């Protein structure tokens, strides 16, 4: 009968797909894919995705057809946990977000990232989140070696209460599943008020200079004020040593500094509270703050991955335990294992 | 001047290890085993090694897991501790010391040419996951090392000169079974090490996995273990082939533990 023979064919395909020899080929292919991806400069997602897909197919077919899994519950749970892991990793890749942002002290995050990558199905809930950077301390050991970062943050909880916390290093701020981590990127942020010559309302904002101490000798940046066409070049100038290689120190603002502003051939120096008239408006320098760079990571699968991993090790240990305790290693086996 | 106990205890422990190892090797070669004496040497050797590590820990304020010197030092300690446990509990496999001790000799030689300078403890190392991760890693490698000792005996038995010297041990298929039990236990610990490492990486660097050199190589080691365990289920693998697979897994693990930190300056390159 056609019905029977086609289901017979299906069954045969499933059994072939469940082959343990195929598992070996797939494990080897996955290893090779990882090495290829590792050595190649360009992203080689297929070198991993294809063997992982085959891996899942092989596993599912084996779990469905191999009678071993009927007899050994622990082994079955272990392999089910492996299937769950692969599916979770795939789900995570489709929905994750990884990004970067910078906030000057006192500034509020309003959903903007300076850099990001995300899976195609990422649920965009980031723009609704708010938190403010309330300042940070970072201690350095001798030799300018960074110690702990302590960053005070505040945010509005869903119940309308203002919450505060200190984050830094391994302690992220977690808002709606988004994890905000401080990064090693931080620096100085001069604050300016721009009074447009057109008479439009003045605008206040910060300019983030290149990261400090990473770009210690390049504390300058080019930037264009709002509604203006002329780029300005601003540089922070100070003489003192902030992070002394010879002794422990702390990240802080310089106690005395000047801001150099260049527009074409013009050169001006500003201290806090001073202003300069330029062709398209008046630039007022308000003072210096610092900025912190954050990375943000979203992956809803994290707790599930953890659960699947725990299930996998516990069931694997259980499987081996029951196998090994059934028979001492130095007694020959009697029949099947 | 007060005596500097840290190098003194280290040197004493290394000398004792070399004595014990030599005794084990000559015991096999000359067919005059002194297994109890080897045991009696390894125990105080390990004790002195422990004291030396504790003094360094006390002096620097952090454990031995930053510099290459510290990684070698603490692994010599943990590998010996785990092997010693197996040596004590399973007398039938004591001649494997003739295979295992030379591997440790290589690590000791390497330790002696490595600078014992102090490293900087990154901020991301202040977490309990560091200890969990490292402990599981050491348990993994220790179990694989015992399997390597047994596999070495299986392979050496084929050599005409050496074979008869291991005649007292159980037959190859028994050894093969035992060796793969250690590999299975190793698989559990390797899995736990990867999980703890991923949790740490998520906490410390905001991502649980990013294929940095150590992550890549430790995952390859995990795959090779899965491959070896499956090969034994899918085929009737001879003790010889099984032993070769054990050595392959160990080689990968060894490269991961000591090769990758050697070529990159920090254990997790670019991520501290
Ligand atoms: C990397 C992923 C995998 C790991 C770590 C893994 C691990 C294991 C382990 C440790 C055992 C027990 C071996 C023993 O008792 O000596 C086992 C058995 C088994 N595995 Fe996997 N496995 C994986 C993937 C797969 C896949 C893709 C399949 C699909 C065919 C599969 C099918 C089986 C079967 C059928 C057994 C039972 C064999 C028997 O006891 O007769 N495994 N696996």
Q: Is the CB of B226 under 6 A from ligand 1?
A: yes
Q: Do the Cβ atoms of A317 and B188 come within 8 Å?
A: yes
Q: Do the Cβ atoms of A313 and B230 come within 8 Å?
A: no
- The pLDDT tens digits along chain A (337 residues) read 444 566 788 888 998 999 999 999 999 999 999 998 888 877 677 888 899 999 999 999 999 999 999 999 999 999 999 999 999 999 999 999 999 999 999 999 999 999 999 999 999 889 889 999 999 999 998 888 888 899 999 998 888 899 999 998 888 999 999 999 999 899 999 999 999 988 889 999 899 999 988 888 889 999 998 888 889 999 999 988 888 889 999 999 998 899 999 998 889 999 999 999 988 899 999 999 999 999 999 999 999 999 999 999 999 999 999 999 999 998 876 544 4
The residues that bridge with A288 in the sheet, in sequence order, are A190
Q: Do the Cβ atoms of B191 and A332 come within 8 Å?
A: no
Angle at A266 between CA A263 and CA A270, to 5 degrees: 85
Contacting residues of A for B206, CB less than 8 Å apart = 98, 172, 179, 181, 295-297
Contacting residues of A for B182, CB less than 8 Å apart = none
B229 touches chain A (CB under 8 A): no
Return residues 30-89 of A near B (CB < 8 Å): 30-31, 34-35, 37-38
What predicted TM-score, i.e. pTM, was given to this entire model? 0.89
Of A98, A170, A313, the CB nearest to B203: A170
SS3 letters across chain A: CHHHHHHHHHHHHHHHHCCHHHHHHHHHHHHHHHHHHHHCCCCCHHHHHHHHHHHHHHHHHHHHHCCHHHHCHHHHHHHHHHHHHHHHHHHHHHHCEEEEEEEECCCECCCCCCEEEECCCCCCCHHHCCCEEEEEEEEEECCCEEEEEEEEEEEECCCCCEEEEEEECCECEEECCEEEEEEEEEEEEEEEEEEECCCCCCEEEECCCCCCCCCCCCCEEEECCCCCCCCEEEEEECCCCCCCCCCCEECCCCCCCEEEEEECCEEEEECCCCEEEECCEEEEEEEEEEEEEEEEEECCCHHHHHHHHHHHHHHHHHHHHHHHHHCCCCCCCCCCC
Q: Is the CB of A66 under 6 A from ligand 1?
A: yes
Chain segment A28-53, per-residue pLDDT in tens: 999 999 998 888 877 677 888 899 99
For atom 38 of ligand 1, the residue with the nearest CA is B233
**Which is nearest to B166 in space by CA: B249, B260, B261, B99?**
B99
Q: Do the Cβ atoms of A332 and B173 come within 8 Å?
A: yes
What ipTM was estimated for this complex?
0.90
Residue of A nearest to B208 (CA): A302
A169 touches chain B (CB under 8 A): yes
Q: Cα(B23) to centroid of ligand 1, in Å? A: 41
Report d(CA B187, CA A299) in Å as an integer: 27
Residue A131 Cα distances to A126, A320, B165, B207, angstroms:
11, 49, 72, 21
For the CA of A72, the nearest atom of ligand 1: 40
């Amino acid at each position: 009968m056609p019905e029977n023979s086609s289901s017979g064919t299906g069954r045969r395909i499933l059994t072939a797909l469940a082959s343990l020899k195929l598992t070996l080929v797939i494990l080897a292919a996955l290893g090779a894919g990882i090495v290829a991806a590792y050595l190649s400069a360009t992203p080689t997602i297929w070198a991993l995705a294809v063997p992982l897909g085959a891996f899942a197919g092989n596993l599912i077919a084996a779990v469905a057809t191999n009678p071993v899994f009927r007899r050994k519950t622990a082994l079955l749970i272990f392999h089910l946990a492996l299937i769950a892991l692969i599916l979770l990793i795939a789900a995570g890749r489709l929905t994750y977000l990884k990004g970067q942002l910078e906030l000057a002290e006192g500034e509020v995050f309003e959903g903007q990232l300076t850099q990001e990558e995300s899976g195609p199905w990422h649920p965009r809930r980031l723009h609704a989140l708010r938190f403010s950077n309330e300042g940070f301390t970072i201690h350095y050991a001798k030799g300018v070696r960074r110690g702990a970062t302590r960053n005070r943050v505040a945010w509005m909880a869903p119940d309308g209460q203002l919450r505060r916390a200190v984050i830094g290093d391994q302690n992220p701020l977690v808002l709606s599943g988004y994890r905000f981590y401080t990064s090693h990127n931080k620096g100085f942020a001069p604050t300016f008020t721009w009074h447009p010559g057109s008479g439009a309302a003045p605008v206040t904002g910060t300019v983030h200079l290149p990261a400090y101490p990473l770009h210690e000798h390049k504390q300058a940046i080019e930037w264009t004020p709002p509604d203006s066409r002329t780029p300005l070049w601003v540089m922070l100038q100070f003489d003192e040593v902030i992070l002394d290689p010879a002794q422990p120190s702390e990240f802080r603002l310089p106690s005395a500094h000047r801001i150099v502003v260049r527009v074409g051939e013009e050169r001006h120096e500003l201290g806090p509270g001073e202003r300069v008239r330029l062709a398209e408006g008046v630039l007022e320098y308000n003072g210096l703050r610092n900025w912190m760079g954050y990375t943000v990571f979203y992956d809803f699968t994290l707790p599930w991955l953890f659960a699947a991993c725990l299930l996998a090790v516990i069931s694997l240990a259980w499987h081996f335990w029951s196998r090994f305790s059934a028979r001492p290693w130095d007694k020959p086996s009697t029949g099947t294992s | 001047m007060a005596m500097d106990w840290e190098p003194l205890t280290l040197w004493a422990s290394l000398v004792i290890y070399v004595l014990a190892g030599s005794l084990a090797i000559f015991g096999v070669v000359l067919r005059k085993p002194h297994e109890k004496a080897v045991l009696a040497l390894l125990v105080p050797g390990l004790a002195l090694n422990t004291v030396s590590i504790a003094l360094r820990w006390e002096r620097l304020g952090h454990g031995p897991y930053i510099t290459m010197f510290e990684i070698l030092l603490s692994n010599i300690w943990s590998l010996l501790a785990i092997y010693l446990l197996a040596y004590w509990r399973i007398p039938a496999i004591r001649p494997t010391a003739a295979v295992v001790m030379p591997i440790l000799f290589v690590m000791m030689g390497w330790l002696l040419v490595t600078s014992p300078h102090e490293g900087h403890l990154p901020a991301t190392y202040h977490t309990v996951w560091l200890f969990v991760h490292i402990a599981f890693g050491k348990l993994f490698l220790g179990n694989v090392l015992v399997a390597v000792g047994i596999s070495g005996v299986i392979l050496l038995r084929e050599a005409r000169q050496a074979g008869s010297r291991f005649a007292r041990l159980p037959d190859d298929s028994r050894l093969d079974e035992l060796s793969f039990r250690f590999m299975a236990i190793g698989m559990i610990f390797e899995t736990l090490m990867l999980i703890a490492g991923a949790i740490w990486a998520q906490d410390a660097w905001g991502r649980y996995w990013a294929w940095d050199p150590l992550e890549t190589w430790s995952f390859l080691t995990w795959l090779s273990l899965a491959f070896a365990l499956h090969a034994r289920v899918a085929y009737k693998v001879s003790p010889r082939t099984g032993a070769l697979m054990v050595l392959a897994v160990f080689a990968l693990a060894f490269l991961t533990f000591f090769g990758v930190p050697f070529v990159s300056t920090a254990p997790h390159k670019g991520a501290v």
